[in-house]
Amino acid sequence: MSQVSENSALRKVVQSKYFWMSLGLMTASSMIFYDWYRDRYAKPEVRYERIQVDWQLSTMRMFKIRKAFLEEMEQGLEDKTASNLVKKSSLKMIPSNVVKVPNGTETGVFYTLDWGGSNYRVLKIEFKGKNQKTISKETRIKISEEFQKTDNKDKLFKHLVLVLKDHIQQCDPDRLKKFS
């Protein structure tokens, strides 16, 4: 008789939704802990193999990413004054307006400005023709957060011009006097 009551009590427990919910939570917790523990103490090669599949891209996916990136670049370079209907790009872009590519016969002193978002480089290059050049001075600075994320281009370019002016003052003060 006691076995019958034990069976009926066990049957009630098994039929209870709370039993299954508790069992599921305990199982999931155990599996998560086991996975964490196994991964934590695994060799780096084993850990890499486990996640490698998550980081692989198919050729088709790469083409879709490339197409989306090119579309964003085109939107970033579109004339914003022509229409208010132009979708704003997620990329901050400024047209370079380069009209001619150097051919190696150039002579004279040129300053190149390389601005990559967080760093700014100024180079003084003296071209002597016949593909000969001399880099006289290079200045590198980290652009402060204030200017990296600003939407105020006048403020940003004023800062960049001051860096250029300091560079010219350091390496060629006579040239700066000509333009003052």
Query: Based on C-alpha coordinates, what's the Rg of the chain?
Result: 32
Whole-model pTM?
0.44
Give how far Cα 93 sits from Cα of 19, 44, 149, Å. 59, 40, 13
Examine the domain organization and report whether 111 and 168 are in the same domain. Answer: yes
Co-location of 112 and 92 in the same domain: no
Please check whether residues 111 and 171 belong to one and the same domain: yes
- Structural domain count of the chain: 3
Whether the Cβ atoms of residue 95 and residue 80 lie closer than 8 Å to each other: no
**Residue 88: which pLDDT band, with cuts at 50, 70 and 90?**
confident
Selection from 3-12, 58-67, 115-124, 152-161 with the highest mean pLDDT: 58-67
Residues 169 and 119 in one domain: yes
Mean pLDDT of 11-33: 80
**Which residue in 109, 175, 167, 171 sits closest to 139, CA to CA?**
167
Say if residue 157 is in the same domain as residue 111.
yes
Containing structural domain, residue 41: 2-54
Residues 79 and 41 in one domain: no
> Are 42 and 91 contained in the same domain?
no
pLDDT tens readout for residues 16-25: 778 888 888 8
The reply to whether 159 and 111 lie within a common domain is yes
Q: Residue 159 sits in a domain of what CATH number? A: 3.30.420.40
From the CB of residue 73, how many other CB atoms can be counted at a distance below 10 Å? 13
- Residues 114 and 175 grouped into a single domain: yes
**Which pLDDT tens digit goes with each residue over 142-172?**
888 887 777 777 888 888 888 888 888 887 7
Euclidean distance between CA atoms 80 and 87, whole angstroms: 9
**Which residue, 54, 75, 91, sits at the end of a domain?**
54
